[in-house]
């Protein structure tokens, strides 16, 4: 899994690409944890380039979501790929996450 990271208006934007499965999900976890250690609490996770997501990937997204909420943080999923949309819908998780179609809208919502 490829993870690109940048910060804009106090919001950490993580753009994930490739497979989000058991072998790769640790990359995302480490990226989020690294930013948490520096005090970041607002995250946009862009999933436009994710080509595969397993149940482990969905579970880890959920764990990151709850961990952030417990530390007064927030994560918004943005630009999710069709495969992510399908899997999240299948797992009935699209009501758990805030999902926006545009990364810019997600950044704006968290920056306010």
The CATH number of the domain holding residue 63 is 3.30.750.24
- Classify residue 68: in a domain, yes or no: yes
Domain span holding position 7: 2-105
- Classify residue 110: in a domain, yes or no: no
- Classify residue 111: in a domain, yes or no: no
pTM of the model as a whole:
0.91
Quick one: 36 exposed, middle or buried, by C-beta within 10 A (0-12, 13-18, 19+)?
middle
- Classify residue 86: in a domain, yes or no: yes
Considering its fold, how many domains does the chain have in total? 1
Profile the chain (112 residues) by mean pLDDT over runs of 10 residues. Answer: 91 93 84 91 96 91 92 94 93 92 95 79
- Classify residue 6: in a domain, yes or no: yes
- Classify residue 90: in a domain, yes or no: yes
- Classify residue 74: in a domain, yes or no: yes
């Amino acid at each position: 899994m490829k993870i690109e990271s940048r910060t804009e208006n106090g919001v950490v934007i993580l753009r994930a690409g490739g497979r989000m499965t058991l072998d790769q999900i640790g990359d995302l976890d480490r990226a989020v944890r690294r930013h948490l250690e520096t005090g970041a609490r607002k995250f946009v996770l862009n999933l436009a380039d994710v080509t595969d997501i397993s149940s482990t990937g969905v579970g880890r997204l959920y764990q990151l979501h709850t961990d952030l909420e417990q530390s007064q943080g927030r994560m918004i999923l943005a630009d999710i790929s069709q495969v992510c949309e399908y899997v999240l819908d299948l797992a009935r998780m699209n009501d758990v996450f805030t999902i926006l179609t545009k990364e810019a809208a997600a950044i704006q919502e968290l920056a306010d």
